[in-house]
Structure 1
Amino acid sequence: MAFIQYLRFEGVNLPLPDSYEVSLNDVEADSGGETEAGTIQRDVVRMGVVEISVSFSVTPTWLQRLTEYKQMDSIVVQYFDPETCEAKTTDMYIEGFKSKLEKDTSYKGLWTVSFTLKEF
C-alpha cells in the first residue's frame, strides 16, 4: 500500500506525519468591523490563505533537518490539498516550532516535532 506524500520542502519528501490539518483563512482589512447600526462589515483582502498544522515522530537526523527549515525565511512547500486531493505548491514559513523527546534510546532518542506552516 502506497502512502500519500503530504509534504515536500524545497523538493525533499518529509516523513509521514502523525497529524496533518489544513485550514483556509481569510485576511481582513482593518477597515472592517461592526458599524454604528450593529451590522458586521468585512473588507476581505485575501481569501483562502493556507495554514497547515502538522506533527511528526522523527529521529535526531530529521529533527536537525526540520530545525534547519524552521530557520529559513521562506520555504517552497508542496502540500496535499484535501479540497482537490492534489498536490499544490506555495511559499510558506514555519511558526510555533516545538520539539519534545518522547523516548531516550541509544540513537539519541525519538522526537515529536510539531509546527504550523503559514502561506505568504
Structure 2
Amino acid sequence: MAMITIDGVDLPSPSVFKIPRSDLDSGDTGRNELGVLQRDRIRQGIYKIELEWKGINSSELHLIESAIEPAELNVTFPTPTGMATKTMYAGDRNVEMLKYDEISDKIYWNISFNLIEY
C-alpha cells in the first residue's frame, strides 16, 4: 500500500511529509478598539500536506506531476489517527534539477508542493 494515493495513483514515498492543520475564520474576524480578538471561526482542522521528493528520476517526476495536474484531487494519506481521504488541490510546484549524470544520461530531480484541502 502506498503512503499517498491521488485519484487511485500510488505515488512514491516522499522525502518530506508534514500535515499541518488550520482553521478558517470569517471576514468578520478581527480585533476591536481595545485590541481584543473577536473571532468567528467557520471551519477547523483543514489539512495542508507539505510534500517533497528528493533525487527522483524523470519517470517518477512525470508520475507525480501527472497525478497533481487536475484542479480537484482525491488524496488518501496517513494521519495520526489512521488513513484519511480528502478533496484537495495542488499549490505551486517547485521543480529543481538535482544532478545530471553524463555517463548514464540520466537526470535526477527534486519536487515540492503543498496539497490543500477544499
Q: TM-score, normalised by structure 2?
A: 0.89
Asked whether the equivalents of residues 8 and 78 of structure 1 are also in contact (C-alpha less than 8 Å), the reply is yes
User: CA separation in 2, counterparts of 1:27 and 1:5?
Assistant: 30
Asked whether the equivalents of residues 70 and 97 of structure 1 are also in contact (C-alpha less than 8 Å), the reply is no
Deviates more, 1:100-109 or 1:34-43: 100-109
Q: Which residue of 1 aligns with 2:18?
A: 21
Q: Which residue of 1 aligns with 2:64?
A: 66
Structure 2 counterpart of 1:79, one-letter code: F
Structure 1 residue 114 displacement after superposition: 0.5
Count the aligned residue pairs: 115
Percent identity reads 26
Structure 2 unaligned blocks of 5 or more: none
Q: Which residue of 1 aligns with 2:37?
A: 40
Q: Which residue of 1 aligns with 2:98?
A: 102
Asked whether the equivalents of residues 21 and 45 of structure 2 are also in contact (C-alpha less than 8 Å), the reply is yes
Deviations 1:13-62 (A, max 9, x none): 11111110001100000101101222101111110000010101321112
Q: Which residue of 1 aligns with 2:50?
A: 53
Q: TM-score, normalised by structure 1?
A: 0.88
Structure 1 unaligned blocks of 5 or more: none
RMSD: 1.5
Q: Which residue of 1 aligns with 2:115?
A: 117
Asked whether the equivalents of residues 11 and 63 of structure 2 are also in contact (C-alpha less than 8 Å), the reply is no
User: CA separation in 1, counterparts of 2:2 and 2:22?
Assistant: 23
Structure 1 residue 107 displacement after superposition: 4.9
